[in-house]
Amino acid sequence: MSEHTLTVAGVAVDTRHWIGGRRVASAETFTDVSPIDGSVIGEISRGTALEAAAAVAAAKAAFPAWAATSRAERARILHAVADGVEKRIEDLSIVETTDNGALLRSHRRGVMPRVAHNFRFFADWLLKLEHEDFETRGHTNHVSWDPAGPSVLITPWNAPLMLATWKVAPALAAGNTVVLKPAEWSPLTASLLADIAAEAGLPAGVLNVVQGYGSEIGDALTSHPDVRRISFTGSVPTARRIAESAAGNLTPLSLELGGKSPLLVFADADLDLAVDLAVEQYDNAGQVCLAATRFLVEESVAEEFTRRFVEKAATLTQGDPRHETTDIGPNIHPRQLEKIDAFVQRALAAGARAVIGGHRKDTQYYAPTLLTDVAQDSEIVQEEVFGPVLTLQTFSTEEEAVRLANDTRFGLAATLATADAERAERVTAQLVAGTVWVNCFFVRDLQAPFGGSRHSGVGREGGTWSFDFYCDVKNTVTAPNGWKNHG
């Protein structure tokens, strides 16, 4: 076995970059640590501006041929990638659980099948992508989607492969070539994806994977003049740096950023359903951008809602994510755990009360927490914690509920529990959010637009919206009766 190969739970993973269809090692490495127990997984090639430039050059060289590849052939290859993912669901699941600490059962049953679906969906959508021709004073308008060029995709650590392929699949389907930069805290499944894509017949240079720290290679990727699209999922401060870096070349951006989403519970709601929705916000140890971390509950039912929530939360099992019975795993990194605890301790010092939790369990796990007696303008209500920390506030009128829900700088999602259809329609029309769920949560369809408002992001992806971003959309206008007769 190569010195650049790790064995992770019995699965071989190459630690080098994937550039131009071959493995490339760096002189330096960084240490990848498992959040499950803090153990060292291995040393990963640490990219520099040199590897970043090489990856963009490889993507640029491969672009003309891939852009000229027929839609049918591109779709065939993407389906072959999906086939490869499905054959390796167990490998991908155990490696990602080891690497980022999310539940193994969720990876097996939902996340990795969704990875395959990402490729199949955009392959199929490509084949039906069209806009009906229309007439203007006798002239014919024809809309087409031209591949834009090399695309840099920067992805987060909370759902590494699923969120990476949510970008990679439409970019490749559109005819673009890709440089994927995975998060340094969870790089391993991106390396496996490179192997799967190569085995599926994706041409060299069409997909490149560069590992390392964003602070060291990010600017080299996002400021490169040959990059035509940048898609990023992560924090607002990092998004600002990317936007500044891309501005010199006017490179189009798609930014999916943080959230501080509300769960509005009205007195007429099914409280059992509302509590189920509320407890679900602890999914992935609270490391979900869409999580409804702010509970806004009508005063008349707040006490009963809280009682039922505490009872339901007490049934959750926190521990090793590889165990079938575990409901909440670890947080991704000791630094993240420290950040979470600092938020909570500042809130408690400011007068908040911990109904449950309010403390770390050890160096990897944070106790599921619910804080009350929090002010609307407090840090814990206004800023994204990205951990298993929720707040509860009350309201007395529908107008107050909407005001509180919208009173942050974010606008990614919102969840609403009510038995009144007319109220649901009124409230959802007023909520600032890219996605609103009514009496449900996390129901996602790839043909729907996805993105955030305000500081939660720029742009929408999904279905045709993805192709609108990853392509140069062209309108061709043809005059009538302008052809010579060569008959």
- The DSSP call for residue 105 is H
Contact between 301 and 267 under an 8 Å Cβ cutoff? The reply is yes
Domain span(s) for CATH 3.40.309.10 in the chain: 262-438
Annotation marks residue 303 as catalytic: no
Length of the chain (residues): 487
Q: What is the pLDDT, as a whole number, of residue 484?
A: 78
Q: In whole angstroms, what separates CA 162 from the centre of its chain?
A: 7
For the beta carbon of residue 71, count every other beta carbon within 10 angstroms: 15
Q: Look up residue 443 and give its two tokens.
A: 């129901």
The CA distance from 56 to 217, in Å, is 12
Helix axis angle, 160-173 to 112-128, nearest 10°: 20
Residue that has been written with the tokens 């959040």 in this structure: 35
Residue of 51, 96, 184, 256 marked catalytic: 256
Q: What is the pLDDT along the chain (487 residues), one digit of tens a residue?
A: 678 999 999 999 999 999 999 999 999 999 999 999 999 999 999 999 999 999 999 999 999 999 999 999 999 999 999 999 999 999 999 999 999 999 999 999 999 999 999 999 999 999 999 999 999 999 999 999 999 999 999 999 999 999 999 999 999 999 999 999 999 999 999 999 999 999 999 999 999 999 999 999 999 999 999 999 999 999 999 999 999 999 999 999 999 999 999 999 999 999 999 999 999 999 999 999 999 999 999 999 999 999 999 999 999 999 999 999 999 999 999 999 999 999 999 999 999 999 999 999 988 899 999 999 999 999 999 999 999 999 999 999 999 999 999 999 999 999 999 999 999 999 999 999 999 999 999 999 999 999 999 999 999 999 999 999 999 999 999 999 877 765 5
Chain centroid to Cα 392, Å, comes to 26
Q: Is 80 helix (H, G, I), strand (E, B) or coil?
A: helix
* Residue linked to tokens 């039906």: 128
CA distance 412 to 257: 8
pLDDT for 271 equals 97
Closest CA relative to residue 230, chosen from 258, 208, 251: 251
Alpha-carbon distance of 279 to 310, in angstroms, equals: 9
Q: Return the amino acid letter for 207.
A: L
* One-letter amino acid of 264: L
Four-point Cα dihedral 465, 468, 470, 473, nearest 10: 170
pLDDT value of residue 400: 98
Report whether 62 contacts 205 (CB < 8 A): yes
Q: Which residues contact 91 (CB under 8 A, 6 or more apart)?
A: 11, 192
Q: Nearest to residue 412, comparing CAs of 431, 387, 399?
A: 431
| CA dist., res. 303 & res. 297, Å (int) | 9
> CA separation (Å) from 208 to 189, 423, 456?
13, 49, 28
């990856």: which residue's tokens? Answer: 55
Cβ contact 159:483 at 8 Å? no
* Residue pair 66/206 in contact by the 8 Å Cβ criterion: yes
pLDDT at 481: 82
- The full DSSP string for 285-328 is GG--TT---EEEEEHHHHHHHHHHHHHHHTT--BS-TTSTT-SB
Quote the CA–CA distance of 464 and 449 in Å, as a whole number. 8
- Which of 96, 289, 298, 461 is an active site residue? 289
Alpha-carbon distances of 288 from 233, 298, 379, 387, rounded to whole Å: 12, 25, 19, 8
Reduce the DSSP state of residue 142 to 3 states and report it.
strand
**Which listed CATH number (1.10.260.40, 3.40.309.10, 3.40.50.720, 3.90.245.10) goes with 262-438?**
3.40.309.10
pTM beyond cutoff 0.85? yes
pLDDT value at residue 1 = 62
Give me 386's structure tokens: 């990205």
Question: b/e for 19-32, b at 16 or more Cβ within 10 A?
Answer: bbbebbbbeebbeb
Residues of the chain with CATH 3.40.605.10: 5-257+452-475
CATH code 3.40.605.10 for 5-257+452-475:
yes
Determine whether 289 is an active site residue. Answer: yes
